[in-house]
Amino acid sequence: MAFGLGIVALVLGAVGGWLFGSGIGASESFRELMRSGGSGTVDQQQMSQELMSDPAVMGAVGSALVVAGIGFVIGLWALVQGIIATATGRGRVWGVLAIVLAVLAGIVFFVAYGASIAAAVAGAR
């Protein structure tokens, strides 16, 4: 059970990270920043307001947060259940694999986020 939950958390982490990065990367203010090469003065409050006022960005980021949140909860469940399985000796190998997958899900989220942002930057140039 814990191993299966770890796989689900891994998939949801990858999807959530990609959606989150593509939502941020799709914003016009982010693309404008990338076209200028990241140089110049960037007003953080103005960029935040532009991101918050764009409905497409908010929709993508909102759905990404839902997917990533569900993945986080399932990953936490897999981690706890894997620790219990490992400690009690009931399916020790599956428990260790579940722990590894649950931890890897968080890492995969950030890798997918970074790859999505990198794709947006490459598309903006």
Tell me the pTM: 0.80
**The pLDDT value given to residue 36:** 67
- Per-residue pLDDT for the chain (125 aa), expressed as one digit of tens each? 899 999 999 999 999 999 988 888 777 777 777 776 666 566 667 777 777 777 877 888 888 899 999 999 999 999 999 999 999 988 899 999 999 999 999 999 999 999 998 888 777 66
Three-state secondary structure string covering 43-92: CHHHHHHHHHHCHHHHHHHHHHHHHHHHHHHHHHHHHHHHHHHHHHCCCH
